[in-house]
Amino acid sequence: MPDATQVLSVARLSKQFGHTKAVDDVSFDVRHNEIVGLLGPNGAGKTTTINMILGVLEPTSGRIRIEGRDVATERSRALACTNFTAVYAPLPGNLTVYQNLRFFGLIYGVPRLAARIDSLLEQFDLGPFRDTKCGLLSSGEQSRAQLAKAMLNGPHLLLLDEPTASLDPATARETRAKIRDLTRREGGGVLWTSHNMYEVQEVCDRVLFLSHGRILLEGDPKTLPRAHGKSTLEELFITVAREPLTLETA
């Protein structure tokens, strides 16, 4: 029986591409009111995992539940309460910010859509760019537009892949605070990938370190480094990237 405290449950998830196992028997959960960092070097399996959660890729084996609904058998209902933003998935550049938000809002069936768009334009300081084509925005402005899109349907599960990578430090800090506050206030859960370890320590309640498609470490980002003889989360990240076997045998 699904656990009501979990907004996301991933059980024994694997994905094989030919002879390469990109994700290898991964299990984890994201609870309500929790931000979980999914960390690891490039090629560790983070994006593949996210794409399986979103239903873009079909798992080789394993199960994914969102709010208790199996993505394999109840895809539409499971993904209706999910949204995401990723640096590799920009909004259509030939549409304005408003047109993009309206387009995706209609797809998600957002009620009182015009009012919701106005609210998000204000929250993410996008009012001056309402009628600007997304292809003409700076990278930071595009990131804010993508985050506004990700918040359209008030998602219970929010998947964020490097959400602040193109933002200046002040805007990135404000954005982290907004996402953290929304998570606490609305009771949703967030799966957050980042290579910025300062950011991870600031926003995440728990982190998962992936290496070669497997979860190598899990715990509180503030205490996990010391538990493995490292002084900082960045130092631990580098060890995971370069010498994962030293941690497996520690």
Q: Please spell the DSSP secondary structure of 116-127, one letter per residue.
A: HHHHHHHHTT-G
Quick one: 162 and 237 in the same domain? yes
Query: Which one of 154, 185, 213 terminates a domain?
Result: 154
88 pLDDT higher than 80 = no
43: its two tokens: 């090629």
Rounded-to-integer distance, Cα 156 and Cα 135, Å: 29
Identify the residue whose tokens are 């993508």: 146
Strands of the sheet containing 6-17, edge to edge, are: 20-31, 6-17, 61-66, 69-70
Q: Evaluate whether 100 touches 135 at the Cβ level (below 8 Å).
A: no
Rounded-to-integer distance, Cα 33 and Cα 188, Å: 5
Quick one: 222 and 246 in the same domain? yes
Helices H, strands E: what count in the chain? Answer: 10, 10
Alpha-carbon dihedral sign for residues 204, 155, 186, 164: positive
106: its two tokens: 């209609």
pLDDT of 109 reads 92
Query: Which one of 154, 172, 206 terminates a domain?
Result: 154
Please, what is the average pLDDT of the chain? 91
Quick one: 15 and 4 in the same domain? yes
CATH code for the domain of 36: 3.40.50.300
Quick one: 94 and 167 in the same domain? no
Query: Which one of 154, 189, 211 terminates a domain?
Result: 154
247 pLDDT higher than 70 = no
Strands 189-193 and 214-219: what pairing?
A: unpaired
249 pLDDT higher than 60 = no
The pLDDT-based confidence of 246 (bands split at 50, 70, 90) is low
The pLDDT-based confidence of 146 (bands split at 50, 70, 90) is very high
Q: Provide the percentage of residues in the chain whose pLDDT is more than 90.
A: 74
Identify the residue whose tokens are 């631990």: 236
Quick one: 183 and 148 in the same domain? no
Per the structure, the count of domains in the chain is 2
pLDDT of 248 reads 59
pLDDT of 244 reads 67
Report the run of H or E that residue 107 belongs to, with start and end.
Answer: helix 97-108
81: its two tokens: 């309460």
Quick one: 39 and 128 in the same domain? no
Structural domain for 169, as ranges: 1-81+157-250
pLDDT of 167 reads 82
> Per-residue pLDDT tens for 168-206?
888 888 888 888 888 888 789 999 999 999 999 999 999
What are residue 235's DSSP bridge partners? none
Q: How many CA atoms lie within 13 A of 222 on its CB side?
A: 4
246: its two tokens: 């030293």
pLDDT of 27 reads 97
pLDDT of 81 reads 92
